Structure 1
Amino acid sequence: MFFRRPKPQQQPFKVIRAIQAVYNRGNRIGIPRSNDQKVLGSVRVILSSVGTLYVIGTPIGNLGDLTLRASRILSSVPLVAAEDTRVTRRLLAHLDAHPRLLSCHEHNWKRQLPRLLEALDEGDVALATDAGSPAISDPGAGLVAAVAEAGHSVVTIPGVSAVTAALSTLVLFESPHRLRATLTDIADALNDPPIAVCRELTKLHEEVWRGTASDALAYFAAPRGEFTVVIGPVTLDAPDQTASQDELLQTARHTLAEHRAAGKRGRDAVAEVVASTGLPRRAVYALWVETGSSDSGNAGKR
């Protein structure tokens, strides 16, 4: 669940610095540590993931298409990760915004990832591309996945398309009373793929849940709100490949004989059997010649 914070890039770290200051003062005057170190460590872990990555949908051709929410985020974050800093700098100049820029494109995003994660440990960061929504035709998908894996929140700030805000190629809009049936179908038909279930996306109380379709069924026992379901890579069961080579050859021989009897041309018959059996074309052609020789021999005996 995402929530509003009055200066999210500063407030939590004022808290942790205050805790550290008290702890350090205790050390100087000789107060025993006891469990304070564990408490401080826990606070540090909890607050370390407080930074949010805002994925900004930028105008494709008209700066006037930039949303008010995107303008507010770009004007308030201390750092913007940009596909091309020159293009993004022009957009920021249009807003009279002056955050630091971090170049993050196809060829360097993995190298820049540690710097981005370090910045997220200090506060919020925006991700923007030259035009459109990040992760559609740029390296944003890998970067967003890495940020989420590191434990930081990822919030999309949509542009002109609601579909692209979900950052994937397969997106379903679903109502609460149909959600569980849809999740069941996804789990059964698509081999329980990884999914993201986005509830109330772009609204005040938006929530993004990640896991498998079957896990989502357990989590959303009584769904409420409007849902966007994003389906990740699907791994379907491989076709049965247990047939032996001899069985495939026998099947091919029988099929070719049927094609010859039906008057089908050799080239077409061979191509069809190659496609259905996966046998090498040379082997299937040899069988085609063999079936022709057999037919000629049988005709001579008659």
Structure 2
Amino acid sequence: MGTLYLVGTPIGNLADITYRAVKILKEVDLIACEDTRVSKKLCAHYEISTPLKSYHEHNKAQQTEYLIEQLREGISIALVSDAGLPLISDPGYELVVAAREHQIKVETVPGPNAGLTALMASGLPSFTYTFLGFLPRKEKQKQEILEKRMYEDSTLIIYESPHRVKDTLKTIQKVDKNRKVSLGRELTKKFEQITTSNVDDLLNQLQEGLIPTKGEFVLLIEGAVAVEDTSWFEEMTIVEHVNYYIDQDMKTKAAIKQVAEIRHMKTGEVYDVYHNV
């Protein structure tokens, strides 16, 4: 049987492609792509003469069956999207599932990803992030998802079209207008722009044309910061607070240190108050 290659392609700058990706695209028998017009430009740039076959959201049902038949007959196929990684908010999931069901070998050829590219330069926390892809178009459904997800301790990564980016920002504004948000556009291209600010400021910049509504957007939302519950000790004096831990068999020195940490004080200050220095 043939091999199905999942090949990452540039998200803007045509130079952002691996040697291996070009090699695979030249060696396979067929390239399945979202839009043949887009992929032709990439192929022409790297002198790739492999035949192209359209594979997109509207024909994936019939084309999946066709491509699986080709793979079973020994034809090797590379799956690419218009930009970035196949399957990541792009077609290909059904094809990969079918290939695995038929024990067809699936190989990945990594490449750029718009969401992570924007995250790297956004200045927002990158330790934990959640990829949401494209949000629903309907306002009610969009708000429901954001109300749920924006209260997680994770930077959210969203893809958005230039025609809907303002509306999505207004929805974010309804949920939490103080949250830091980053807009990335024209990534890896000459006029790349990644702007991080509050929602009000970003909407003003869009309105004034400082952030042009051209090209696909990556929208990043800062994760929620956990609010520390201090209600249980707010009524206690510092002495009472230290004694609370001592009563739980904690040494005096350790109790003083614990109180200082929780109250965001210096250990010496708590020590002086406790010992009435």
TM bin, normalised by shorter chain, reads: 0.3 to 0.5
State which structure, 1 or 2, has the greater radius of gyration over its C-alpha atoms.
1
| Structure with the higher helix share, 1 or 2 | 1
TM-score between the two structures when normalised by the length of structure 2: 0.40
TM-score between the two structures when normalised by the length of structure 1: 0.37
